[in-house]
Amino acid sequence: MALARPDTGAPGPSSPSTSPKYDVFLSFRGEDVRYGFAAHLCSALDRQGIYTFRDDEHLERGELISDQLRQAIVQSEIAIVVLTENYFSSRWCLEELVTIVDSRDDRGQIVVPVFYGIDPSDVRHQRRSIAAAFEEHEARCSVDTIRRWREASTKISYLRGWVAEIVG
């Protein structure tokens, strides 16, 4: 179901706390898939009338990005998380992931992982490049922050999603 775009003024479905503003929030590591997979996915969703939050189009200049992203996540019906080898090296992506998993747990948001060139079991057990990314984070982040990121990573690895191999 496509929601009314914010600029139309037409109401979307309501919930007790917040009316959804977006159909989909798309979380991805920009340098990995922004101009390839993510761009094609967004185009396909747009063609179907599915209103998708993309940080390159919806972030207002001068606003705190983290607050605006958190708000966009909880104002979305669905979150699609494109997990790549480098996703876990981004503190920003991991914070998005925690917010997405919390939104799923707290309000039942639909979360769909896309394992893009990465094995779901490597995410679940935090092996290979994911283990290396967490080791690097441990030198700069609190134990609590690392724990939250690891728990969110494990939770999303158990969700049913898609496994996509990188072609080319």
pLDDT tens track for 94-149: 999 999 999 999 999 999 999 999 999 999 999 999 999 999 999 999 999 999 99
* Helix runs in the chain, H state only: 30-33, 37-47, 55-58, 65-74, 91-107, 120-125, 129-138, 143-157
| DSSP 8-state assignment for residue 59 | P
Q: What is the pLDDT of residue 9?
A: 35
Residue 166 confidence (pLDDT): 77
**Both tokens of residue 76?**
């979305």
Domain locations in the chain as residue ranges: 19-164
Residue 32: its pLDDT value, please? Answer: 82
How far is 39 from 147, CA to CA, in rounded Å? Answer: 32
The CATH superfamily label for domain 19-164 reads Toll/interleukin-1 receptor homology (TIR) domain (3.40.50.10140)
9-48 pLDDT, tens digit each: 333 333 445 578 999 999 999 888 888 899 999 999 999 9
Q: What is the pLDDT of residue 82?
A: 96
Which residues carry out catalysis?
A: 96
- Residue 8, pLDDT > 50, answer no
Residue-level pLDDT at 20: 85
User: How much is the pLDDT for 3?
Assistant: 35
Q: How far apart are CA 52 and CA 46, in angstroms?
A: 7
Residue 80 pairs in a beta bridge with: 26, 112
- Per-residue pLDDT tens digits for 45-83: 999 999 999 776 555 555 555 888 999 999 999 999 999
pLDDT at residue 91, rounded to an integer: 93
